[in-house]
Amino acid sequence: MEPEVFVDVVRSALGLVAILVTASILPSLVVGLVVSIFQAATSINEQTLAFLPRLVITVVALMYGAHWGIEKLTSFFREMVRLIPQVIG
């Protein structure tokens, strides 16, 4: 049982988490930037105008990206199961 195996597992798990979070948060950040620019240009300071589009885009991104995310998680899980003999022995 070598420590390098655990370091590789943690590195790949953190990378996968970063990719999955980025896929759901990045569209929200872009929409938030566009709404903020619109609010600054028109001097509208309504909080729901900033919150609601970001919420809708995040839900839509999760709806369309859920299949891809589950596929990534499943392949990661299969890889972890494949590594069990290497970790134990």
Quote the pTM value.
0.77
| Residue 21 lies in domain | 3-88
Cα torsion 24, 30, 31, 33 to 10°: value is 140
Mean of pLDDT over the chain? 90
Residue range 31-50, pLDDT digits in tens: 999 998 998 898 888 877 88
* DSSP, res 43: T
CA 48 to CA 39: how far, in whole Å? 11
CA 34 to CA 40: how far, in whole Å? 10
**Residue 22 structure tokens:** 């980025």
CA 59 to chain centre: 12
Mean pLDDT over residues 80-89, rounded?
Answer: 84
Q: Do residues 24 and 58 touch, judged by C-beta distance below 8 A?
A: yes
> Which amino acid would we find at residue 14?
L
